[in-house]
Amino acid sequence: MSSLVSRVVAAVALLPALALAAPPATKPSTPAKPTARPSKQYTIEQFMTTTLYRGASFSPDEKKLLFSSNQSGIFNAYSVATTGGKPKALTQSKTESTFSVAYFPKDERILYTRDQGGNENNHLYVRSLDGKEKDLTPGDKLKAQFVGWKSDDFSAFYVTTNERDERFFDLYKYDAKTYARTLLFQNPGGYEFADISRDEKWIALDKQRTTADSDIYLYDVAKKETQHITAHKGVATYTAASFDPASSALYFLTNDGSEFTRVASYTLADGKVADVEKADWDIMYTYFSQNGAYRVTAINEDGRTTIRLHDVKVGKQVALPQLPAGDITAVNIARSEKRMAFYHNGDRSPNNIYVYEFATGKATRLTNALSPEVDAEDLVEAQVVRFKSFDGMEIPNILFKPHQATAETKAPALVWVHGGPGGQTRKGYHPFIQYLANHGYVVLGINNRGSSGYGKTFFTADDQKHGKEPLRDCIEAKKYLSSLPYVDGSRVGIIGGSYGGYMTLAALAFHPDEFNVGVDIFGVSNWLRTLENIPPYWESFREALYQEIGDPKTQEKMLRETSPLFHADKIKKPLLVIQGANDPRVIKPESDEIVQAVQKNKVPVEYVVFPDEGHGFTKKKNEAEAYARTRTFLDQYLKKAAPGATN
């Protein structure tokens, strides 16, 4: 199904990951020689006038593009002419972020989704031609997701919901005119929907055993039978990617027999398996355009995304448009296969939307994301650097060096830990990091062992070792930062969100003398409670999560030993905690209790709770406050920490 695009398979994540990939290096790398330049510092208000964009769907006549934007301060659905112009708001929510999904293929109705205050119970809505809204998935405590169009005639679309059993998602077919629906697959448990063949005979299902070991099943719609098609020995991932347009084969991703993920195919008629495409990195996804003229593949290449566009008939790659430094991502080929929409971003350039015409080779930029008040030259270009950890394992990182940091004016620094476990930090525009770097903080985005993108050996190196070896990588990251001529090694803090927030708390509790400060953004403090209170719709990943981190029923002692809450009396450095009140992944008591525990130590603790957010930020005002509060905290307790240090 060509509409099932841009799916990136990852381990269960407490926080949507940043990302990075890198091959083994022969020796630790060092950043390029620092150069100083005058750099204007911007206020948080100036930074926040930057606009974020998500999604891209062509209208039926392909003259307009549907996307989401937080231009108004909160995400809403917009459309813009593919030739350029001023975007038009199609939704006007002022309280809940609204994310566009797609135009209807035969008229200009649109689908979009929103939750309630960040609780992740997304519903699917339709906006009729008269502008009226209808909830297609009404109900309490239900989570719904659009998963594609019936792409032979576009008479229907597919939706998964967990309304029958909050633990499992069933697949429904909705009539595109009446919205009447039919149950196509009732999930008995443990399966995740991946794709449905165009002839509607087959449904591809993924099943996770551990975060590094998974399988694919085929469901015969007519016979209502499920077949396991990826029996294997040892640890390997198998993930369904896309059925081909002819409904003759299922394309899938696997790292069986290798370190990195490749593309293979399974022929439905005879079960024949063949390798299709490889890279020296993990392939993240692959899918076909509407009529099969093109196949798009995305590769996780050394901290950035590389797109391969294949001309299927000719059997060659198609050259992509030449653009300034950065990455082309999220390619969406129009149904006519005459044009495509895509995003482009760089370290100093947020995501912008382009439309590319295959016939003319012309790429038209439709958005200007960066604030007009911010000069991109004042932002910083990130570098991929590596160091050897305590046991010789090479650790890849993304380094952001402020322009004003020199050997004469050494800067304070932060170890930035990504979410996950199993996430990545990658190159590209990171507004929070750029804001901190703009105000004089060196930021090292560490990809500690257990991060994805470096092969399955590196990815599994943190299993059942959280709070131990991966944390020691963060300690070594501090040593690496201290070795840089422009970093003041006496002023190094640690910051992270979700799993990165856990690592922040763990660093302060288990290595209390290493870092000067910590910033915990909705991080885990008590693994026992978090693992026992995962969202019900994560049921299919529960055992995989337990094998990654620990089973609260059988490994209580180990989880207590690695949970910062039970060792909070050791924390003696200033701590900032940020939490969304409606977070379903890391619930608010995780932050409440660590704050209360650390306050007993007579340690400076600041606590910021956003009543209308969940596991992350969807509202500009909250994002701005979080960034500003973090910088104020760091200025007070880190930047001014050394004698003679100034702002």
pLDDT exceeds cutoff 50 at 13: no
Judge contact between 284 and 300, C-beta under 8 A. Answer: yes
Q: Each residue of 570-583: pLDDT tens digit?
A: 999 999 999 999 99
Give residue-wise pLDDT tens across range 485-541. Answer: 999 999 999 999 999 999 999 999 999 999 999 999 999 999 999 999 999 999 999
The answer, yes or no, to whether residue 33 has pLDDT greater than 60, is no
Reading the block at residue 260, the tokens are 């990195």
pLDDT band at 324 (very low <50, low <70, confident <90, very high): confident
| pLDDT at residue 30 in the model | 52
Share of the chain above pLDDT 90, in %: 91
Give the pLDDT band of residue 615 (cuts 50, 70, 90). very high
What architecture is domain 59-189? 6 Propeller (2.120)
pLDDT at residue 38, as a whole number: 58
Stronger pLDDT, 541 or 646, i.e. the higher one: 541
| Statement: residue 18 has pLDDT above 90 | no
Mean pLDDT value across residues 451-478: 97
Q: Which residues, other chains included, contact 232 with Cβ-Cβ below 8 Å and sequence gap of 6+?
A: 215, 238, 256
Residue 16 has pLDDT above 50, yes or no: no
The residue-averaged pLDDT of 466-484 equals: 98
Q: Is the pLDDT of residue 31 over 90?
A: no
pLDDT mean over 324-341: 95
pLDDT of residue 14: 53
Question: Class of the 376-639 domain?
Answer: alpha beta
Evaluate if residue 12 carries a pLDDT over 70.
no
Main-chain dihedrals φ then ψ at residue 351, nearest 5 degrees: -55, 130
Would you kindly state where each structural domain of the chain is located, as residue ranges?
A: 59-189, 376-639
Q: How high is the pLDDT of residue 642?
A: 53
CA distance from start to end of the chain: 54
What is the distance between the alpha carbons of residues 482 and 489, in angstroms, rounded to a whole number?
4
What DSSP string runs through 177-202?
A: TT--EEEEE---SS-EEEEE-TTSSE
Confidence of residue 1 (pLDDT cuts 50, 70, 90): very low
pLDDT above 80: residue 646: no
Give residue 647's pLDDT band: very low, low, confident or very high (50, 70, 90). very low
Exposure of 346 in the CB half-sphere (CA atoms within 13 A): 12
Decide if pLDDT at 394 tops 60. Answer: yes
The pLDDT mean for the chain works out to 93
